[in-house]
Amino acid sequence: MELILITAAFAAGFLSLKCNLPPLVGFLLAGFGLNALGFSSNDTIITLADLGVTLLLFTIGLKLDIKTLLSQEIWAGATVHNLLSTALFSLALLLLKVLGVSTIASMNLEQIVLLGFALSFSSTVFAVKSLQEKGEMNATYGTLAIGILVMQDIFAVIFLTASTGKLPEWYAIALFALPLLRPLFYKLLDWVGHGEMLVLFGIFFALVVGAGLFELVGMKADLGALILGMLLAGHKKASELSKSLFNLKELFLVCFFLNIGLSEQPTLTGFALALLFLLLLPLKGVLYFLVLNAFKFRVRTSLLASLSLFNFSEFGLIVSGLAFKMGWMSGDILVALAIAVSISFVIAAPINRKGHELYQRSGRWLKEHAAEKLHQRDQLINPGSAQVLILGMGRIGTGAYDELRNRYGNICLGIEVREEAAIVHQTLGRNVIEGDATDPDFWERILDTANVKLVLLAMPHHQGNQTALEQLQLRNYQGQIAAIAEYQDQIDTLIENGVDAAFNIYSEAGSGFAGNVCEQLKPQFQKV
């Protein structure tokens, strides 16, 4: 059976990729197809799916600054949206009840509100994978979406704890001592090195220290993984740890999407109800946009964040599953919600891929805030006398900045998407500002690029560099452009699309290493 599941997942994922859809859409369809052929989920698939979600939340925590959750637009925005969407969805469901829609007609008010609450969630798994594939996890709209999703996860955990009537054990209070152990955790992370022990460290902390410890005291295991990740987020190796777990997490999440399709047998009644639920999806997106836009974010930021959250959630399935077990919800509703969640992923995938294009079409008639009232991340940018723009101030961008400064003086302006990283660069004396170079409005906010003679595309994701290149070309930039890439086909694509020079980051690192060795050590070789 496992061989059939692997084959079906690979074939469906590959076809989705060729259709310009995320592979997860294929995994979902493979699950439903296998279900229709008589296959069902098993303990192995369920266990691996749970491990995937736990590792996902752990890696989210590794990238999450607690200050993000404490910002008003996150905690207040998530709370307002959850309350409004639950209320409006409940009203819509009450209307269906009055109209006599089967299954819903027999539900009481409490059951309808519970269903509205389940429909109010958006998918953490889908949004994170979508953002990762676009290389925009750290973009302003990406951090907003992730912050709201984490708050929703917290809401779900609170509900699950309260609805079961099972309070955490009294000794759960000991968990408040975890931040005091952070120095010890940091030391362990320093000691494990960079190889397989780093991967094992991540698995141990996510599944044993985080999930296991929280489950032991009667709390949600996934919440423990998230919190342990957040405790490690400030360490210099947090990003490396997240990358080391990436492939393992992705493999387990294949089982998660397969399991959704394998777990429920679609029925005509369930499919009809799912279509009715999907009619509420645009309302959810509009609410997200209105809430975020009320916090003075740009139209583009509000729109792309809303599109990332434009789906139903696996946490909604978890909430509904618990309600079904406790007799609060019928099986038809659970099946309908599972189908609605799956179809919402299929709908949201191409919409998210076309997000920038949708913004360019709709941004003209969506009203923007006055420039002086915009969020501080969205203020106008003056590059001054900078002759070089470096897009992406990671290790490669920073190295290029320092080298150009040593050669020509202060001619560079660095663009870094992460606010905290930009501040660190500024304290070290570099001319770096926060900004999202894949953002069309970013280029519109730049007052004047007449002095800029060279742009370096140094972002870690090929799609991000490709998007920035397209934005430069749309604005008829006349200077030179150089870019980095990981693979030869990416270099070929960049050259075909108009960059003046593209370099493989691995070969350039080796060349630079040899050059520095010869320059500093001056070895006395005999030329042959």
Q: Which phi and psi angles does 282 have, rounded to 5°?
A: -60, -35
pLDDT at position 85 is 94
Are the beta carbons of 261 and 28 closer than 8 angstroms?
yes
Q: Which phi and psi angles does 242 have, rounded to 5°?
A: -60, -45
pLDDT at position 440 is 63
pLDDT at position 44 is 85
pLDDT at position 380 is 67
pLDDT at position 200 is 92
pLDDT at position 527 is 60
d(CA 373, CA 442): 16
d(CA 158, CA 21): 34
Tokens 């006398």 belong to: 385
What pTM was computed for the model? 0.69
pLDDT at position 425 is 93
pLDDT at position 108 is 86
pLDDT at position 515 is 66
Q: Could you tell me which of 511, 450, 513, 437 has the C-alpha nearest to residue 477?
A: 450
Q: Which helix (H) or strand (E) covers residue 109, if one does?
A: helix 109-119
Exposed e or buried b for every residue in 144-175, given b needs 16+ CB within 10 A? bbbbbbbbbbbbbbebbbeeeeeeeeeeeeee
Pairing of strands 388-391, 501-504: unpaired
Measuring CA to CA, how many Å separate 410 from each of 402, 406, 430, 458? 10, 8, 9, 19
Question: 3-class DSSP state for residue 416?
Answer: strand
- Average pLDDT per block of 10 residues along the chain, 528 residues long: 83 83 77 83 84 84 76 90 94 89 82 90 84 74 87 77 68 86 91 87 91 84 84 86 85 83 74 89 94 87 91 76 72 79 84 81 73 65 84 89 90 87 92 81 70 88 86 85 89 90 80 69 65
Domains in the chain with CATH codes: 1-164+237-363 (1.20.1530.20), 380-521 (3.40.50.720)
* Tens-place pLDDT, residues 228-272: 988 998 888 888 888 888 888 888 888 887 887 786 677 777 788
Q: Could you tell me which of 446, 442, 484, 488 has the C-alpha nearest to residue 466?
A: 484
pLDDT at position 517 is 67
